[in-house]
Every structure is written in structure tokens, then in C-alpha cells.
Amino acid sequence: MDTEETQFPLGFVFSVAAGILGLVAGAYFMLVFEGGGSVSKHVGGGGFTSSSSGYTFGMDNCNLGEGKSVRVDYEMKERRSGELNIYLMSNGFFQLPKVVATHKVVSEGKGTCRLRAQVPGRYRIVFSPMPDGRGYDFSYDAKWKVE
């Protein structure tokens, strides 16, 4: 009596293994970096033009439970014009995003702000340069985390 063995192609086995490894790594990344990150940028603009250079690292989306807030440590450098607005925006499914907390940075220097949501849910941290009548031109660094 002959028995036939079913063999899977080697490429298929590697694809499945890579997919499982990717899911595990993604879940780990979400748990470790959920609600934390950093940004360092130089922004400039006015009229119909704008430019931005730098990096953003981490997750700008976070889940905030009752009593939780996002702490942002920032530094504005080389400010020639403009201001930086830091927003906490609702980011739930099936709803339009809306600003629930904001902090405005209008001068050079270091500072800290806490953005708190009134109801538990999914939120997003947004850094937005704003003109002050002469456009905007400044550099900034920021780190944020859920507390």
C-alpha cells in the first residue's frame, strides 16, 4: 500500500512564515510605540508655496482612556515668522475628525503641554505650522507620549 505525501512548495512555506513573523513584529511595534514618537522639522511657507524637511518617528495615533492625556515636550528654534499649532484630533471610525484640544507655540524656546480628551477614544496628534501675516519659517523638535 503506497501512501502519498503532500509537499508544499518551499516558496509557499517561506511566505506563510514571513507573514506570521510580520504580524507578530507589527503587534509588538504597536504595543511598544503606541502613543509615542518624535518629530524634528524645518518648515517654511507663505503665499502659494511651502516646504518641509525633517523626520517623524513613532505613532501619531493613540488610544486615550479616561484620565489619560498626551504630553508633548517641544522646542521651537530659528523662528523668523509664524507659529506652531499642536492639535489633538478625534480619529474614530465612521466620524469626521475634529479638534478636541490645541496648544499654540508663538516664540522660540522649550515648553511642555498636555492635551487631554474629554471622552475615551482614538486620537491623533497633529503639528501644523501657521502663518502670522508674513508666512512661516521656523524649526521645531517635539516628543510626545501618552500619560
Give the model's pLDDT for residue 8.
64
Distance, first Cα to last Cα, the chain: 67
Cα separation, 99 vs 128, whole angstroms: 12
Q: What is the pLDDT of residue 98?
A: 87
More confident residue, 82 or 28: 82
Q: What is the pLDDT of residues 28-58, one digit of tens each?
A: 555 445 568 899 999 999 877 888 999 988 8
Domain residue ranges in the chain: 30-146
Q: Which CATH class is domain 30-146?
A: mainly beta
Of 31, 37, 64, the closest CA to residue 127 belongs to 37
